[in-house]
C-alpha cells in the first residue's frame, strides 16, 4: 500500500536544511511530508531517583535512591555491577519500580521549543541483549543503551539468572559477559516481566543445545502469541514441547540446520528468533516475508560481527538469507555495537510538538528513514518538518554517523487538520506503536479521521481514555477501528494500561485545558527514559507525583 493510499492524502516532503541534500541516497523515498477522583499527594521530582536496589528473593523492598536532576539529559540508571546467584540479583527499577502508583500531572497550554535528544532503541536493545548469549568467550559492549528503562533492567536480570554478568562502565554503555552460563532456564519471575524475554530461547538453544523458557509477560495487547517463533525454530530442526506455562526446546539430531522459513505474517520477534538460530545453524536459511523493521536490521548487523562464519544478506527487505556458522569457532565477545535511535521515541516527540504547538522544536539524533511514515502524516496535518545535521553525529568512537535532527513547527491544537484515514501496518508503513499517539493528535485536529489497527487486536484503549478528556471518538464493534472527530480536550484523571497508551495520554494532556493526571506510570517507564525531564526541558509543564 502506498503512503498516499494509507493516509488518504498526498504525501509531502521534508525540506532538507543546508548540507543535507543528497545525504541519504539510500533512504526510502522523500520524507513528507470528568474531574479527578483523588488528588496528587507527594511531589517526587521531575527526574526521579536514578537507581534502586532490592533483594528480590526475600521480598525485601528496601530501596536506596540517589537524587536525579531535572533537565534535558537525566543521568542513566546503574543497571547492575557484578553477578549474583539466581533469585538474588540486585534489582534495578525494572522490578522494584519507580513507584507503580506514580502519576504525571500535565498542565496544558505551553508551546514546546528547544532540543530533546532521542535515546537508543528499546526494541532493538532487547534483541541485542538476548543475542549476547551466543558469545561464549569475552565481553560484549553495547553503546547508546537506554539503561534507565524498566524493560532493559528486566532483560538484564533475565540474562543474570542464566549466569551472565552485566555492568555499566559508562553512561549509556552495558558490558555483558555470557561466557559462563550456568543454566538453560531463565528465572520465570523475570521472564514474566516483559514479552521480549522470549527472545532468549533461540540463542540459548544455539549455545547450549536446549532451553526452557516460560511464556512471557509485557503489555497485555491482544493475544500476541509466540506461535511464529516456534514455527521458525521447528523449521531449523528444533524440538518443541509446550506445557505448564513453559516452552522446552531441544535439537533433533543434535544440531540446527538451515532451512527455508516462510512467515504468514512479517513478525518482528519471530524474524529475530530465526535470525539468531540461523546464525549458528549449519547451512543456509532463507526467511521469506521477513520483518523489515530497523530493529531487525540492527540485530542482523550485530550477529554478523558476533558470530564468525555467519553472513547475512537482505536485511531491510522481505527476504533475508543467512549463511550459518554451523556452530564452528568461538563466538568471542570483545566487540562493541552502537544501538540505533528509538524511532518510536522520536515519533513521540514529533507528536508532542505537533499537538502542543511549536516554533521550532528540535528532535535530535534521528535516523531519517526510520520516521518517514510518521512525519508523512504529521506534515499532511499541517506541521512543518525540516532536517539538519545532527548535534549528536559521530559522537564517541562508536557514534552513529547517519543521524539528523528534525525541526518541527506546528500551529498547535485546533489548527491542525485531520487526514481522512490512517491504517497501521508493518514497516515501512505507519507503526502500530505510534497509533495511540496519533489518536491523541487527531483528537485535537479539525475534521474526521478513521483509524484502523491491523497489527494488534484490542489496541484502542487510548481512545477509551481520551474520551474521559472530552475527545469525540467512536470505537467500532470489535475494537479494530475508531472514528475521531477533533475538538478541544479538557483535563481529567486517566489511567494507563500499557506503554504506548500511557504516553499517548501524557501527550494529550499537553493540549488539554487545565490539569490532566495520568496515573500508573509503571507502564510508561518501560519505554521512556526520564520522560518528565525531557518534556520539562522543552517547555512542558509536567510534574511526576506519588499518588495517595
Whether the predicted pLDDT of 59 surpasses 50: no
Beta bridge partners of 251: 238
Question: By C-alpha distance, which of 432, 426, 196 is closest to 289?
Answer: 426
Span between the terminal Cα atoms of the chain, in Å: 49
Please name the helix (run of DSSP H) or strand (run of DSSP E) that holds residue 365, with its range, or none.
Answer: strand 358-366
Calculate mean pLDDT across residues 109-137. 97
Band (pLDDT 50/70/90 cuts) for residue 252 is: confident
**Pairing of the two strands 448-452 and 421-423:** parallel
Alpha carbons 545 and 548: distance in angstroms, whole number: 10
- Provide the mean pLDDT of the chain: 82
How far apart (Å, rounded) are the C-alpha atoms in residues 207 and 209?
6
The grid cell for 85 is 546467584
What single DSSP character describes residue 192?
Answer: T
211 pLDDT above the threshold of 90: yes
Q: Coil, strand or helix: which one is 145?
A: coil
| Predicted confidence band of residue 39 (pLDDT cuts 50, 70, 90) | very low
* Ramachandran bin of 539, using left for φ above 0, alpha for ψ from -120 to 50, beta for the remaining angles: left
Tell me if 390 sits within 8 A of 405, measured CB to CB. yes
The model's pTM is 0.82
Work out the pLDDT band at 5, boundaries 50, 70, 90: very low
Name residue, grid cell 549463511: 323
3-class DSSP state for residue 310?
coil
How high is the pLDDT of residue 524?
A: 95
pLDDT score, position 282: 97
What is 3-66+93-119+341-547's CATH number, 1.20.120.550, 3.65.10.10, 3.90.1150.10, 3.40.50.300? 3.65.10.10
pLDDT in tens, 298-328: 999 999 999 999 999 999 999 999 999 997 7
* Neighbouring residues of 58: CB distance < 8 A, sequence distance ≥ 6: none
Residues recognised as catalytic: 219
Predicted confidence band of residue 205 (pLDDT cuts 50, 70, 90): very high
Grid coordinates of 395 = 559522537
Domain boundaries, the chain: 3-66+93-119+341-547, 122-338
The answer to whether the 3-66+93-119+341-547 and 122-338 domains have the same CATH topology is yes
Q: Give dist(CA 210, CA 351) in Å, integer.
A: 44
Q: Decide if 60 contacts 89 (C-beta within 8 A).
A: no
User: How would DSSP label each residue in 212-270?
Assistant: EEEPP-S---S----HHHHHHHHHTTEEEEEETTEEEEEEGGGS-B--EEE-SS--HHH
Question: Do β-strands 165-170 and 173-177 pair in parallel, antiparallel, or remain unpaired?
Answer: antiparallel
Phi, psi of 418 (to 5 degrees): -70, 155
Percentage of the chain exceeding pLDDT 70: 77
- Nearest alpha carbon to residue 538 among 106, 144, 110, 46: 110
The top-level CATH class assigned to 122-338 is alpha beta
Tell me how crowded residue 194 is: count the other CB atoms within 10 A of its CB. 24
pLDDT reported for residue 400: 65
Average pLDDT over residues 151-173: 97
CA-wise closest residue to 92 among 139, 141, 49: 49
Q: What percent of the chain has pLDDT over 90?
A: 71
Please report the pLDDT score of residue 21 as a whole number. 36
User: Under 8 Å CB-to-CB from 26, ≥6 apart: which residues?
Assistant: 369
Amino acid at each position: 500500500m502506498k503512503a498516499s493510499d494509507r493516509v488518504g492524502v498526498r504525501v509531502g516532503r521534508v525540506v532538507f536544511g543546508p548540507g543535507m541534500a543528497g545525504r541519504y541516497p539510500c533512504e526510502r523515498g522523500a520524507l513528507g511530508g470528568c474531574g479527578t477522583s483523588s488528588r496528587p499527594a507527594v511531589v517526587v521530582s521531575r527526574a526521579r531517583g536514578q537507581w534502586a536496589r532490592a533483594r528480590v528473593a526475600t521480598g525485601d523492598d528496601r530501596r536506596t535512591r540517589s537524587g536525579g536532576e531535572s533537565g534535558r539529559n537525566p543521568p542513566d540508571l546503574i543497571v547492575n555491577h557484578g553477578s549474583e546467584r539466581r533469585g538474588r540479583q540486585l534489582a534495578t527499577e525494572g522490578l522494584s519500580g519507580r513507584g507503580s502508583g506514580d502519576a504525571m500531572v500535565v498542565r496544558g497550554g505551553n508551546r514546546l521549543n528547544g532540543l530533546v535528544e532521542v535515546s537508543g532503541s528499546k526494541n532493538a536493545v532487547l534483541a541485542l541483549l538476548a543475542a549476547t548469549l551466543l558469545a561464549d568467550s569475552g565481553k560484549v559492549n553495547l553503546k547508546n543503551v537506554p539503561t534507565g528503562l524498566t524493560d532493559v533492567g528486566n532483560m538484564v536480570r533475565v540474562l543474570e539468572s542464566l549466569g551472565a554478568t552485566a555492568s555499566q562502565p559508562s553512561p549509556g554503555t552495558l558490558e555483558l559477559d555470557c561466557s559462563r552460563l550456568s543454566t538453560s532456564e531463565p528465572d520465570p519471575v523475570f521472564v514474566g516481566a516483559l514479552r521480549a524475554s522470549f527472545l532468549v530461547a533461540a540463542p540459548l538453544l544455539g549455545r547450549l543445545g536446549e532451553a526452557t523458557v516460560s511464556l512471557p509477560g509485557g503489555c497485555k495487547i491482544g493475544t500476541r502469541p509466540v506461535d511464529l517463533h516456534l514455527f521458525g525454530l521447528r523449521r531449523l530442526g528444533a524440538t518443541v514441547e509446550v506445557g505448564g506455562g513453559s516452552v522446552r526446546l531441544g535439537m533433533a539430531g543434535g544440531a540446527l540446520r538451515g532451512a527455508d522459513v516462510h512467515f504468514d505474517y512479517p513478525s518482528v520477534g519471530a524474524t529475530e528468533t530465526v535470525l539468531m538460530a540461523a546464525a549458528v545453524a549449519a547451512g543456509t536459511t532463507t526467511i521469506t516475508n521477513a520483518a523489515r523493521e530497523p530493529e531487525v536490521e540492527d540485530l542482523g548487523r550485530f550477529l554478523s560481527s558476533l558470530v564468525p562464519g555467519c553472513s547475512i544478506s537482505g536485511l531491510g527487505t522481505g527476504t533475508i538469507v543467512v549463511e550459518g556458522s554451523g556452530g564452528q569457532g568461538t563466538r568471542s565477545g570483545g566487540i562493541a555495537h552502537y544501538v540505533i535511535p528509538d524511532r518510536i521515541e522520536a515519533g513521540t516527540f514529533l507528536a508532542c510538538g505537533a499537538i502542543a504547538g511549536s516554533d521550532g522544536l528540535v528532535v535530535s539524533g534521528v535516523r531519517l528513514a526510520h520516521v518517514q511514515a510518521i512525519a508523512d502524516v504529521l506534515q499532511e496535518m499541517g506541521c512543518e518538518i525540516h532536517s539538519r545535521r545532527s548535534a549528536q553525529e559521530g559522537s564517541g568512537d562508536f557514534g552513529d554517523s547517519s543521524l539528523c535532527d528534525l525541526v518541527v513547527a506546528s500551529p498547535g491544537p485546533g489548527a491542525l487538520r485531520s487526514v481522512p484515514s490512517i491504517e497501521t501496518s508493518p514497516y515501512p508503513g505507519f507503526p502500530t506503536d505510534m497509533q495511540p499517539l496519533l489518536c491523541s493528535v487527531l483528537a485535537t485536529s479539525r475534521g474526521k479521521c478513521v483509524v484502523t489497527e491491523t497489527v494488534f487486536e484490542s489496541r484502542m484503549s487510548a481512545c477509551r481514555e481520551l474520551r474521559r478528556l472530552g475527545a469525540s471518538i467512536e470505537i467500532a464493534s470489535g475494537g479494530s477501528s475508531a472514528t475521531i472527530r477533533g475538538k478541544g480536550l479538557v483535563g481529567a484523571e486517566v489511567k494507563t494500561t500499557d506503554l504506548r497508551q500511557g504516553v499517548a495520554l501524557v501527550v494529550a494532556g499537553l493540549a488539554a485545558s487545565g490539569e490532566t493526571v495520568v496515573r500508573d506510570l509503571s507502564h510508561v517507564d518501560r519505554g521512556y527514559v526520564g520522560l518528565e525531564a525531557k518534556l520539562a526541558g522543552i517547555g512542558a509543564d509536567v510534574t511526576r507525583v506519588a499518588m495517595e
